[in-house]
Amino acid sequence: MTVRKPLYALGLLGLTTLLTVGFSSPAGAAQTCAPTPPATSCFTTSSDSVAVEQPVPGTTDEIETFKTRIVVQTPDGTTFDQSVDAPSDSPEAADATGSARTAAANDGLEVTGVETSPSTRALAGSTSEEVTTPDRVEVTTQTELSVGPATVMVGPDHSETVEVPAGNTLINLNTRTTTYVNVATNTTNTYLTTATITINAVAPAGPTTSTTTTTTTTTTTTVAPAVAPASTDTSSGELARTGTSTRPLTAVGVTLVLIGGACLYLSRRSAQRSSI
């Protein structure tokens, strides 16, 4: 038995050699399956390789960015506006706030208060990347049977062509190398947190000016012009006429005469009573 096994293997190798006679064409050229009678089958080999992608969970990374705006606000508008790429409570924001206060003082403004708005966080951008990593490699063999008439691709990576005539059979042993790879999609999200620091300022009030109003009352006394006595014309016996009417003067004279008469009457009555 120990002698027959090597002989059996040697005989099988010789048979295979005989069956493969007829594949002497140059590589890449078409060959014909023409086994030596009475054999009707040809034996060939081939190889190929495939890659199989296996989706796997990826990673999600977050990048935090910040922007703080510092402004000096007056009733007339904004006099200072600067932004720093840092949180509102950072040293960079504190330095910018100090610069804003200095600018306000240089403009002659008086700071009345500082307000910090609530921070707002929002998605600013997102990027994705596929990352491939090798997993494993598997090698398998498979027997392929082709009955003529047929055209079969054999050889490395199926680079050779074999024509199988009618009535013949091609037995091909294909070796396949399968490479499995893991494919992960990694995502990076960028977030932006914003805030505003508002420095309220006004122009300082000027000195108070007291205004005193003095009212002066002026009394005006109007003195009537003296009336010149009318001249008497002895020749005509009539009062001389002036440029004005003499009737008012006549009334005044009559009034004075009456007052004088009344005074004289009263004085005499008083004297008479005294003598009694």
Q: Which domain, by its residues, includes 74?
A: 60-127+188-202
Residue 159 forms part of a structural domain: no
Residue 121 forms part of a structural domain: yes
Q: What pLDDT sits at residue 251?
A: 74
Nearest to 198 by CA among 108, 120, 96: 96
pTM for the structure as a whole: 0.52
Total number of domains in the chain: 1
Buried b / exposed e along 137-154 (16+ C-beta atoms within 10 A)? eeeeeeeeebebeeebeb
Q: What pLDDT sits at residue 29?
A: 58
Residue 107 forms part of a structural domain: yes
DSSP for 190-229 reads EEEEEEEEEEEEEPPPPPP--------------PPPPPPP
Q: What pLDDT sits at residue 6?
A: 38
Q: What pLDDT sits at residue 261?
A: 78
Residue 115 forms part of a structural domain: yes
Residue 113 forms part of a structural domain: yes
All residues at 6 or more sequence positions from 87 whose CB lies less than 8 Å from its CB, including other chains: 66, 68, 93, 119, 193, 195
Residue 261 forms part of a structural domain: no
Residue 73 forms part of a structural domain: yes
Residue 271 forms part of a structural domain: no
Please report, in tens digits, the pLDDT of each residue of the chain (276 residues total): 333 433 333 344 344 433 443 444 455 556 888 888 888 899 999 999 999 999 999 999 999 999 999 999 999 999 899 999 999 999 999 999 999 999 999 999 999 999 999 999 999 999 999 999 999 999 999 999 999 999 999 999 999 999 999 989 999 999 999 999 999 999 999 999 999 999 999 998 766 555 555 555 454 444 445 444 444 444 444 444 444 555 666 777 778 878 877 777 777 777 776 665
